[in-house]
Structure 1
């Protein structure tokens, strides 16, 4: 995945989901809360990830810019592949967007099969966030 760089200091992905038009401040506050709960700083993010239907969502793009991390997006079919690894799968989300989770699934999808959730989905009124990380192989 050429959009993200994983190294010793940047090996976490913040997954985000939100309703269309969610205020930037709400999503940013949730993102900050998620990082605090995961015990990491924004400097440790290699990307912010979401579903491709939010590719132009101002709040998600604002959070990526806030943390100086690239925004990466996945289609619902790719996110649905992550369902067995989700802590909080949702039939409601599936009915709306075609996958059982956005925040958790996007964070995991961005890092691949060796990723693990550090923080399962947390919610604000109109948004969700989760954090995944990948361990680095010692050569």
Structure 2
């Protein structure tokens, strides 16, 4: 899980995907909408996760900075391993990037083997977001 630190307060990961050059304001608005829809606050977020081809994407990095959490990235083969757990696998996404989903897959990959989606993929014009909760047991 890399540099993600989970605890009973910060158990959630926000998965993000976007087209190259998507305005940071669009991705941030979608991220906030995803957190609201999942019923969690930024203080419950452990990380932002995405595909490694977006490692330098300004919009993803801006969301992580705005929410004061690390951004973690996974390659397409690792994200593809999450396909059985996806709510919305996409053949179109697979054809473009080599995995059946970015936002859901990245959130689940970062949150761990016992993670579950608490918000399936939602979309804006050029981005996707999903939220997973780690399997960390509450104290």
User: For this structure pair, what is the TM-score category when the shorter chain's length is used for normalisation?
Assistant: over 0.9
1:15 equivalent in structure 2: 15
Name the TM-score, length of structure 2 as normaliser. Answer: 0.97
Question: Partners in 2 of 1:60 and 1:136 — Cα distance?
Answer: 25
* 1:2 to 1:74, Cα distance in 2 relative to 1, 3 A: closer
TM-superposed deviation, 1:43: 1.1
Question: Partners in 1 of 2:136 and 2:99 — Cα distance?
Answer: 28
TM-superposed deviation, 1:138: 6.3
Q: Residues 116-127 of structure 1: matches in 2 within 5 Å?
A: 116-127=116-127
Gaps of 5+ in 2: none
Gaps of 5+ in 1: none
Question: Partners in 2 of 1:39 and 1:99 — Cα distance?
Answer: 28
What do you get for the CA RMSD once the two structures are aligned? 1.1
The SS at the match of 1:72 is strand
2:102 equivalent in structure 1: 102
Q: How many residues align?
A: 139
TM-superposed deviation, 1:2: 3.8
Name the TM-score, length of structure 1 as normaliser. Answer: 0.97
User: After the TM superposition, which parts of structure 1 deviate over 3 Å for at least 4 consecutive aligned residues?
Assistant: none
